[in-house]
Chains A and B, each alone.
Chain A
Amino acid sequence: MIEWVHPGLIFIFGTFLIPLFKGKWKQAYLLILPAAALIDVILMYKGVFGTIPYSTWYYPFLDYELVLGRVDKLSLCFALIFSLAAFCMVLYALHVKSSSEHVSEFFYVGGALGVVFAGDLFTLYIFWEIMAIASMLLIWFHGGRGSEVAHRAGFRYILWHLFGGIVLLAGIIMYVAGTGSTAFNAFSWGWGSEYLPSYLIFFGFILNAAVPPLHAWLPDAYPEATVTGAVFLSAFTTKSAVYVLVRGFTGVDILIGIGAIMTVYPIFYAVLENDVRRVLAYSLINQVGFMLCGIGIGTPLAICGTVAHAFCHIIYKGLLFMSAGSVLQMTGKIKCTSLGGLWKSMPFTTACCMIAAASISAFPGFSGFISKSMIIAEAAHFQLGIVWVLLLLASAGVFHHAGVKVPYFAFFAKDAGIKAKDPPLNMKLAMGIGAFLCIFLGVFPQYLYNILPYDPVALGFIPYTAAHVVSQAQLLMFASLAFYVLIITGVYPPEQKKLNLDTDWPFRIWGAKFIIFCKEPMMDFAGWIDRGMKRFASYFASFGRNPLRAIRIALSTMMVKALRTFVLEFWWRIFKYYERDLEEAKRLPADKPIETVPLGTAVLLIIILFLLYLVITLMYGWLAP
């Protein structure tokens, strides 16, 4: 039997050697780490380290136990897709020279894998925060012209995540204090104050899943990341949140509603948005909505749909971000208004983007179809009418913005006359692998279904029935007809070079107001207190030097101030007297006491004090017992 190895720690400890390598050796080393992690996960699937499910790597921590390796079918499925995606994405980022960027990427992936294998809440929290900080660095590494915008976006991003992390930590501490157990399993759910720890943990999870109105960090920050950073970001934060929600909150009804709203809300923004990567960020939220809906329904088939959708989603969304990144890297432009007609100069990128677009809009034969239809079918099975309509509306919407709009405006539409060519070989290879997987999973769904926590075929779900294929094809083709008709008739809103307000508006406006409030009135108030304290202290100092003078100054100042408030005829003379007195007192020497006490007297005084103390102690000693 071989000892179990944590694939997340392969990434995290492997990073420390990255800066030591150079050139080709560095590239080789960068590819070996994710390959090793991938092989590790595949070996776990084969039961080389033990029969699934099992837990391993226990470490004592205070009075509790950290479980770093909880291996079952659910965690394995997410670990497989995370390490597979990491391999493709590292290949995509292979040309990047900066070691620091690679280091933060690897920490990020390692954090996500750590979350997946975490068997207790403390381990979960540690890896959760590693992920948050490493992902922020991916945004901050954006250099050049957009670096200042990226810095600000990164700050807002980390503020959201630290807030979510603190709420999660509060929930975890309350949960552990309440139940005495740190195990990370399904949380109890209901209505009432006794479920407060569950609510707090839930809040921390859904903030990372980008549930509206807590989603604004995602379309705000992801499009500002580096070309390769955005590809990494698209995969891990939201999907690890989906994993922990599956683990902790399966069958929580409220997630059905949240998921349905989450699928519909961003599609309107995606129509309006001009930045291609921001359109993709909104469609990312929309896709996570489908997964949350599946978690809320919570039957084995719905969970299968969720996990399968997360699996396919990471591949095709990564591919979409890769093609958008290639366009950004090769042309330096990313706005719909300045792109167009790139299909002639970048045919490979165009083909990959089209395949990813077909997958995300769930065309039959591509990977999105075999996973998304499971969730929609399950919503229909339970007669959730409104949810079903919303999911279908969102399916048409996602086809419209991610399936038609992104490829159309970037690669077709009017020719913007941009001179560009396809990206370097490593980026092309990574995109090729992604495109291949999109088609492969769509054509041979059995390979995906075999690794899911349950078997969807045994549960009665067959993807390629005539009804499924024709209904989906009808939905998508006529959605494209609507796009075509509205463009021809000129109803379709033209792209604008504008920024769209989102739910972070109150934070960015009132938050800025709050900062100004802290800066000006609050600082004035603090200064006032500070000055007061300083005067108090200096009074004591002067009192120590010359007590009589200090007392005289204080008294006359007080009298002068009191009498000056109402200057009346009959105390005019008194006021004048004190004023003169104050001036006189101020003229006295400040540090020369009027009467100096000899040293012997002081010693005598101290001895008397000690004697008194002794007497009191002795009397207390006699009286007390």
Chain B
Amino acid sequence: MANNLFPEFLICLSIVMDSPIQEHIEPPWELLAFYVILGVVAYVVLCFMAKKPAPPHRNLLIVIYFCCLAGMVIAGLPVHWHIEFPWQEPIPTAFYAIFGFAACVFLIYFAKGLRLWLPKDYDYYEKKRKGRE
């Protein structure tokens, strides 16, 4: 009975169910495992810190963080880099690290410069309007 009433619906459902995947890109399982471990460790340390803000836990977090940083640079050593631009040539291994750091420092200093000029009080436009009326 159902087949007679909703044949089109059943066809649609069967089409939706089949998987569209054709080629396979290897999912980055190692990365995921790393994130999960990192997240769990960070959560545990944060919970300890919330209960008792003692310096050793905070130091532990910072140690993990710097280990990650060093690991990133070391991981760059065996990588085969594609050098696309001349300014990448001297230090292909740590180019992105230096760029990332420098970019953020520049960004924040530039924003600090803008702060001399851009910020106004919340009622800036209201004041201007009322001043005229």
| Contacting pair B111 A493 (CB below 8 A) | yes
CB neighbours of A470 from chain B (8 A): 72, 75-76, 79, 96
Nearest CB in chain A to that of B85: its residue: A385
CB neighbours of A481 from chain B (8 A): 69, 100-101
Quick check: is A446 within 8 A (CB to CB) of the other chain?
Answer: yes
Contacts A476-B100, A478-B97, A492-B108 supplied; 9 other A-B pairs, CB < 8 Å: A43-B12, A43-B16, A269-B118, A392-B96, A443-B27, A464-B26, A478-B69, A478-B100, A496-B115
**A508 CA to B132 CA in the complex, in Å?**
13
**A137 CA to B50 CA in the complex, in Å?**
43
| Contacting pair B25 A491 (CB below 8 A) | no
Q: Which of A396, A443, A444, A450 contacts B99 (CB 8 A)?
A: A396
| Contacting pair B76 A474 (CB below 8 A) | yes
Quick check: is B52 within 8 A (CB to CB) of the other chain?
Answer: no
User: Can you offer 15 A-B residue contacts whose CB atoms are under 8 A?
Assistant: A2-B8, A39-B16, A272-B119, A396-B100, A396-B107, A397-B103, A397-B107, A443-B32, A451-B20, A463-B25, A479-B101, A483-B104, A493-B111, A508-B125, A508-B128
Quick check: is A9 within 8 A (CB to CB) of the other chain?
Answer: no
Binary contact readout B25-48 vs A (1 if CB under 8 angstroms, 0 otherwise): 111100110010000000000100
CB neighbours of A380 from chain B (8 A): 84-85
| Contacting pair B79 A393 (CB below 8 A) | no
CB neighbours of A509 from chain B (8 A): 128
**A474 CA to B99 CA in the complex, in Å?**
9
| Contacting pair A474 B35 (CB below 8 A) | no
Quick check: is A523 within 8 A (CB to CB) of the other chain?
Answer: no
Taking CB atoms and an 8 Å cut-off, the chain B residues in 84-126 that contact chain A are 84-85, 94-101, 103-112, 114-115, 117-122, 124-125
| Contacting pair A446 B25 (CB below 8 A) | yes
**A508 CA to B125 CA in the complex, in Å?**
8
CB neighbours of A471 from chain B (8 A): 76, 95-96
Which of A451, A475, A500 is the most central at the interface, judged by chain B CB atoms within 10 Å of its CB? A475
Identify whether the interface residues of A are mostly helix, strand, loop, or mixed: helix
Quick check: is B59 within 8 A (CB to CB) of the other chain?
Answer: no
CB neighbours of B24 from chain A (8 A): 446
Quick check: is A562 within 8 A (CB to CB) of the other chain?
Answer: no
Quick check: is A558 within 8 A (CB to CB) of the other chain?
Answer: no
CB neighbours of A392 from chain B (8 A): 96, 99, 103
| Contacting pair B97 A447 (CB below 8 A) | no
Quick check: is B15 within 8 A (CB to CB) of the other chain?
Answer: yes
| Contacting pair A479 B20 (CB below 8 A) | no
Q: Which of A43, A451, A474, A496 contacts B15 (CB 8 A)?
A: A43
Quick check: is A466 within 8 A (CB to CB) of the other chain?
Answer: yes
Least distance between A473 CB and chain B CB atoms (Å): 5
Quick check: is A445 within 8 A (CB to CB) of the other chain?
Answer: yes
Contact A513/B132 with A48-B12, A475-B96 known, Cβ cut-off 8 Å? yes
CB neighbours of A396 from chain B (8 A): 99-100, 103-104, 107
Which of B24, B118, B120, B122 is the most central at the interface, judged by chain A CB atoms within 10 Å of its CB? B118
Least distance between A362 CB and chain B CB atoms (Å): 12
Quick check: is A616 within 8 A (CB to CB) of the other chain?
Answer: no
Taking CB atoms and an 8 Å cut-off, the chain B residues in 9-29 that contact chain A are 11-12, 15-16, 20-28
Identify whether the interface residues of B are mostly helix, strand, loop, or mixed: helix
CB neighbours of A39 from chain B (8 A): 12, 16
| Contacting pair B80 A467 (CB below 8 A) | yes
Least distance between B18 CB and chain A CB atoms (Å): 9
Nearest CB in chain A to that of B109: its residue: A491
Least distance between A39 CB and chain B CB atoms (Å): 7
Quick check: is A17 within 8 A (CB to CB) of the other chain?
Answer: no
How many residues on chain B are close to A (CB under 8 Å)?
65
Nearest CB in chain B to that of A365: its residue: B31
Q: Which of B23, B28, B84, B104 contacts A397 (CB 8 A)?
A: B104
CB neighbours of A498 from chain B (8 A): 119-122
| Contacting pair B35 A365 (CB below 8 A) | yes
CB neighbours of A478 from chain B (8 A): 69, 72, 96-101, 104
Which of B68, B72, B73 is the most central at the interface, judged by chain A CB atoms within 10 Å of its CB? B72
Least distance between A189 CB and chain B CB atoms (Å): 28
Q: Which of B23, B27, B68 contacts A477 (CB 8 A)?
A: B68
CB neighbours of B20 from chain A (8 A): 447, 450-451
| Contacting pair B28 A512 (CB below 8 A) | no
CB neighbours of B132 from chain A (8 A): 512-513, 516
| Contacting pair B97 A477 (CB below 8 A) | yes
| Contacting pair A388 B99 (CB below 8 A) | no
Q: Which of A267, A472, A477, A508 contacts B69 (CB 8 A)?
A: A477
Nearest CB in chain A to that of B65: its residue: A484
**A482 CA to B111 CA in the complex, in Å?**
14
Binary contact readout A493-514 vs B (1 if CB under 8 angstroms, 0 otherwise): 1001111110000001100110
| Contacting pair B100 A466 (CB below 8 A) | no
**A451 CA to B73 CA in the complex, in Å?**
36
Nearest CB in chain A to that of B76: its residue: A470
Which of A364, A446, A472 is the most central at the interface, judged by chain B CB atoms within 10 Å of its CB? A446
**A388 CA to B99 CA in the complex, in Å?**
12
Least distance between A312 CB and chain B CB atoms (Å): 15
CB neighbours of A364 from chain B (8 A): 28, 31
**A497 CA to B124 CA in the complex, in Å?**
12
Taking CB atoms and an 8 Å cut-off, the chain A residues in 378-420 that contact chain B are 380-381, 383, 385, 388, 392-393, 396-397, 400
CB neighbours of B121 from chain A (8 A): 498-499
| Contacting pair B31 A469 (CB below 8 A) | yes
**A381 CA to B82 CA in the complex, in Å?**
11
CB neighbours of B115 from chain A (8 A): 272, 493, 496
CB neighbours of B133 from chain A (8 A): 516
| Contacting pair A447 B21 (CB below 8 A) | yes
Quick check: is A352 within 8 A (CB to CB) of the other chain?
Answer: no
CB neighbours of B12 from chain A (8 A): 2, 39, 43, 46, 48
CB neighbours of B28 from chain A (8 A): 364-365, 443, 464, 469
Quick check: is A268 within 8 A (CB to CB) of the other chain?
Answer: yes
| Contacting pair A500 B104 (CB below 8 A) | no
| Contacting pair B105 A482 (CB below 8 A) | yes
CB neighbours of B108 from chain A (8 A): 271, 400, 482, 486, 491-493
Least distance between A369 CB and chain B CB atoms (Å): 9
CB neighbours of B26 from chain A (8 A): 464
| Contacting pair B72 A477 (CB below 8 A) | yes
